[in-house]
Each structure stands twice: as structure tokens, then as C-alpha cells.
């Protein structure tokens, strides 16, 4: 049987009698699948596996503990053979054919009137794959398609409104999705999937913007991005948009850079949605406070250098954090106030020679790293035109970065070779004093 001779379709067997001939593992799998479809299953086999006996004992199917009889196919809608005996399977198939009943012959796929595809279910989408009678090939393809749907690489979004859809009383949903620092590969699988199902995307200026180009043409993208000191769409308006779109029955994704609950005002948005009766899901993202330093090879903690770190957004909060080189300080949105922040930390007792690293556009092709000291970094940043988006890291952990100059690498911080500093990578691009 050639694949072009197959007409793909789906059977609705709810409440209809079906026959399974055979009692082994294959018969058990097929019986279970037929039960899941709502069929009334009868199994004919002299001996049944433990799985089949459990189903029979639970009253989910009928087991006839005997050999097959031609009359067993009378009145059924569908037949599955799985005896392991080609002669018996062929007889069952011939009897079904004579009565114009569709039959899957497990012993001979070429002679079978029907094939059972490899099946997976993602949400309310059922994937069925036939692969020329090669079940392992079909299963591999099924798994690949299911994974692509799960991860959002294939469109899972609904396109047809159900007949019983009540727009006035139906409420959509809101998902606050952390998109990570900007690289499309750093969004979570869950976040990517929700983005692929969205009807409306409320997008920030930062985050994995390239993913917006993969959305279907009819997905509405509402831009609400902010820049330092410029908020064209106030937060109150963003909150209103989320609720209004969800109450209109739409699946709404609020796509943010980093993590929605790390200086992303996600808590405010979630609270507003819940107050207005809108279901909201929060999908954590890879926060820029940790991931962007990592893009420059800077760990926020490192054995022998720092056991803790603080994340702040401006120099006003710096009086509350430890002013020690062994406690890492991560500044977000701190470029404009960098000089004031450096002065505040120096006044609090942090040495002027404390290493400081600035990572602009982390993980993106135009990533740039500037490394200096607390006393020099403000002048360096102005001279080189450092601009947001950028993450500033202050503390001895900057010494670990392969972008750091060689004279920074004099302390004993190697965890693999004690008393031997790590060598900087010659391929790294760094702007240093």
C-alpha cells in the first residue's frame, strides 16, 4: 500500500461498539486509545495481559476469554487485530472486509484496510502521523511536531470561533511573560508557547523583539515601551489595555524584557487584572540583572569573591546595600545616574579601585563591555557613549570576566587552579582604562 492510497481522516467512535482481537501489549494500547475516544470496546483473546484485565475488572471494557469467531465482527464499527498470529489477523481482516467494516491489521500493514497513526495531543489539537507503515518513524515525527507546538515554534492559536461562543460573557486571559534579556533563545518554553497562542501582544521596548516578526498577520501588537524619563504609555493605561482586551475575549500576552517580577511592574499588572476578574498567569523570565552580566563572563557570586548581591535601580538605594567589594551590586537603568552612584558608594566606604563592569545590549550582536574602576567608570562611560539598555556590575566579581584587563587578575580567585589567575580571552572586546 502506497502512502498516496491513504485518505487521512478522523473517526468519531463515541458510544460505538468496536472490537479488539488479541490480548497482548499492542492490544492493550489500542484498547486504551479506543476507550479514550469513547468507544465501547470488546476484547476477544484466550489470554489477556495484566493491563487489559485491569480495564476489564474496572468495567471499562468487555473481555471475552476465548478464540476469535467470525461472528465477533457483527455489528461493530471498527476492528483492531493484534494477536501476533498472522493467520488469525488475516482472517479477522477478511471477515471485516466482507462486512465493509474498517479494520487495522497489526500483522500486515500493506494488507490493512486502515492504519493507526502515531498520535499526540497538545491542548485541543490532535496530531496524527502516518509514515508509510513505519511506526517508529511516525512516532519520531509525531514527537517532533508535538514539541514544536509545545514550544511555540508552530502556531497553536485558534482561528475559528466556536459556534457556542458568547462574546459578551466570555473572558479571555492575560499572561505576563518574561522574555529575557533580548536573545530569542532565552525566552522560556512556556512563554514562547503562550506567545504563539496570543491574539494580542502588549510589548515592551526590550525583550525578544524578533519573535514579534513570527506572529500571524492578524495578531495585534500594541507597543507600550518605555525609555528612561519617557513613558508614552503610562502604567495605568497599560493596566487598562490588558483588562479591556481580556474582557473582549482575547488571549493577551504582556511581553516584557527580563522577568516581569524583577523591576518590571508585573505585580501591579497582575493585581489590576485580578481586581477586574481577569485570569492572569505569570511566566518568569531570565532576569537581566543576572543574565546580562553572565553574557560578559561576570558571575554575580563567586567563591572567594562574593557570596551575595543586591539589585538596585538608582543611587538613592545605595545607602542600604553593603559597600564592600565582596558584595556585588547590580545597577539596572543606572547609566544616567552612574556618576552620582559611584560617588555615593565611594562616600559609603567602597574603595575607588573596586572593579566595575558595564554590559550594553547583553546577548545581542552589538553587545559591548566597558570595564574600569569605581573612580574611573563614569568618565569612561561618558567618553565611549555608554547608553541604555545596560547593566552595571560593581564588585570583585568583575575580575573573573574574560573582558577584564590583565592587571585586574592578580587576586587568588581561581577555583580550579589555586593561586593562578585565569587568563583573559584574546577574542573578547573590552573598553578599559
For 227-285, how does the pLDDT look when each residue is reduced to its tens digit (9 = 90+)? 666 568 899 999 999 999 999 999 999 999 999 998 889 999 999 999 999 999 999 99
Task: Please give the pLDDT value at position 428.
Answer: 39
From residue 426, how far is each of 355, 404, 429 by CA, in Å?
20, 11, 8
* Residue 281: how many other CB atoms lie within 10 Å: 14
Residue 159 falls within a domain, yes or no? no
Residue 5 falls within a domain, yes or no? no
Active site residue 226: yes
Do 294 and 272 belong to one domain? no
User: What mean pLDDT is predicted for residues 86-93?
Assistant: 94
Do 330 and 415 belong to one domain? yes
User: What mean pLDDT is predicted for residues 307-317?
Assistant: 82
Residue 329 falls within a domain, yes or no? yes
Helix (H, G, I), strand (E, B), or coil: what is residue 177? strand
Do 295 and 425 belong to one domain? yes
Residue 387 falls within a domain, yes or no? yes
Range in 28-37, 56-65, 101-110, 381-390 the model is least confident about: 101-110
Residue partners of 198: CB distance under 8 A and separation at least 6: 157, 175, 215, 219, 251, 252, 253
Do 100 and 186 belong to one domain? no
Do 428 and 297 belong to one domain? yes
Do 314 and 422 belong to one domain? yes
Do 282 and 297 belong to one domain? no
234 DSSP assignment: -
Annotated catalytic residue within 204, 256, 259, 396: 204
Helix (H, G, I), strand (E, B), or coil: what is residue 277? coil
Torsion 202-204-210-213 (CA) sign: positive
- % residues pLDDT > 70 (the chain): 88
Mean per-residue pLDDT over the chain, rounded: 86
Residue 134 falls within a domain, yes or no? yes
Task: Please give the pLDDT value at position 215.
Answer: 87
Beta strands in 106-195 (DSSP E): 118-122, 125-129, 173-178
Q: How many domains does the chain divide into?
A: 4
Range(s) of the domain holding residue 60: 15-116
User: What are the backbone angles phi and psi of residue 393, rounded to the nearest 5°?
Assistant: -120, 130
**What is the rounded distance in angstroms from the CA atom of residue 224 to the CA atom of residue 341?**
29
Q: How far apart are the first and last CA of the chain?
A: 74
154 pLDDT band (50/70/90 cuts)?
Answer: confident
Q: Is the peptide bond before 389 cis (omega within 30 degrees of 0)?
A: yes
pLDDT higher for 58 or 316? Answer: 58
Do 373 and 406 belong to one domain? yes
> Among 264, 286, 308, where does a domain finish?
286
Residue 168 falls within a domain, yes or no? no
Do 256 and 376 belong to one domain? no
159 pLDDT band (50/70/90 cuts)?
Answer: low
Are 81 and 107 within 8 A, CB to CB? yes
Task: Please give the pLDDT value at position 410.
Answer: 55
We report the CATH number of the domain holding residue 50 as: 3.40.50.720
358 pLDDT band (50/70/90 cuts)?
Answer: very high
Active site residue 167: no
Do 136 and 241 belong to one domain? no
Task: Please give the pLDDT value at position 432.
Answer: 46
Are 266 and 188 within 8 A, CB to CB? no
Task: Please give the pLDDT value at position 3.
Answer: 55
pLDDT of residue 90 exceeding 70, the answer is yes
pLDDT higher for 170 or 117? Answer: 117
pLDDT of residue 15 exceeding 90, the answer is yes
**What is the rounded distance in angstroms from the CA atom of residue 369 to the CA atom of residue 297?**
10
User: What mean pLDDT is predicted for residues 382-397?
Assistant: 94
Residue 240 falls within a domain, yes or no? yes
- % residues pLDDT > 90 (the chain): 61
Annotated catalytic residue within 108, 143, 153, 226: 226
Do 343 and 376 belong to one domain? yes
Do 428 and 348 belong to one domain? yes
Amino acid at each position: 500500500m502506497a502512502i498516496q492510497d491513504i485518505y487521512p481522516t478522523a473517526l468519531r467512535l463515541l458510544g460505538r461498539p468496536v472490537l479488539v482481537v488479541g490480548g497482548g501489549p499492542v492490544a492493550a494500547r489500542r484498547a486504551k486509545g479506543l476507550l479514550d475516544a469513547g468507544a465501547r470496546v470488546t476484547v476477544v483473546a484466550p489470554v489477556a495481559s495484566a493491563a487489559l484485565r485491569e480495564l476489564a475488572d474496572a468495567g471499562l471494557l468487555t473481555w471475552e476469554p476465548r478464540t476469535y469467531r467470525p461472528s465477533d465482527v457483527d455489528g461493530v464499527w471498527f476492528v483492531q487485530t493484534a494477536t501476533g498470529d498472522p493467520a488469525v489477523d488475516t482472517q479477522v481482516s477478511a471477515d471485516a472486509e466482507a462486512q465493509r467494516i474498517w479494520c487495522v491489521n497489526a500483522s500486515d500493514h500493506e494488507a490493512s484496510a486502515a492504519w493507526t497513526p502515531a498520535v499526540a495531543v497538545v491542548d485541543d489539537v490532535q496530531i496524527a502521523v502516518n509514515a508509510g507503515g513505519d511506526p517508529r518513524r511516525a512516532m519520531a515525527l509525531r514527537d517532533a511536531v508535538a514539541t514544536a507546538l509545545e514550544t511555540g515554534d508552530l502556531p497553536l492559536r485558534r482561528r475559528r470561533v466556536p459556534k457556542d461562543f458568547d462574546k459578551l460573557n466570555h473572558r479571555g486571559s492575560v499572561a505576563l511573560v518574561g522574555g529575557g534579556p533580548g536573545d530569542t533563545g532565552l525566552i522560556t518554553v512556556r512563554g514562547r508557547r503562550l506567545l504563539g497562542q496570543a491574539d494580542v501582544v502588549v510589548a515592551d521596548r526590550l525583550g525578544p523583539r524578533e519573535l514579534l516578526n513570527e506572529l500571524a498577520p492578524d495578531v495585534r501588537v500594541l507597543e507600550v515601551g518605555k525609555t528612561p524619563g519617557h513613558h508614552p504609555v503610562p502604567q495605568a493605561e497599560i493596566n487598562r489595555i490588558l483588562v479591556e482586551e481580556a474582557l473582549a475575549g482575547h488571549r493577551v500576552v504582556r511581553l516584557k524584557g527580563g522577568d516581569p517580577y524583577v523591576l518590571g511592574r508585573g505585580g501591579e499588572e497582575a493585581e489590576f487584572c485580578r481586581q477586574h476578574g481577569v485570569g492572569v498567569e505569570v511566566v518568569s523570565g531570565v532576569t537581566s540583572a543576572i543574565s546580562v552580566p553572565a553574557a560578559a563572563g561576570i558571575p554575580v557570586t563567586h567563591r572567594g569573591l562574593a557570596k551575595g548581591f543586591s539589585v538596585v535601580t538608582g543611587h538613592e538605594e545605595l545607602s542600604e546595600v553593603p559597600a564592600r567589594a565582596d558584595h556585588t551590586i547590580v545597577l539596572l537603568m543606572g547609566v544616567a545616574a552612574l556618576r552620582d552612584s559611584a560617588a555615593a558608594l565611594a562616600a559609603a566606604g567602597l574603595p575607588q579601585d573596586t572593579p566595575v563592569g558595564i554590559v550594553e545590549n547583553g546577548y545581542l550582536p552589538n553587545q559591548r563591555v566597558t570595564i574600569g574602576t569605581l573612580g574611573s567608570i563614569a568618565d569612561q562611560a561618558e567618553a565611549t557613549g555608554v547608553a541604555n539598555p545596560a547593566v552595571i556590575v560593581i564588585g570583585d566579581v568583575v575580575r573573573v570576566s574574560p573582558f577584564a584587563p590583565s592587571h585586574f587578575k592578580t587576586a587568588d580567585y581561581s577555583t580550579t587552579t589555586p593561586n593562578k589567575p585565569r587568563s583573559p580571552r584574546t577574542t573578547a572586546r573590552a573598553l578599559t582604562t
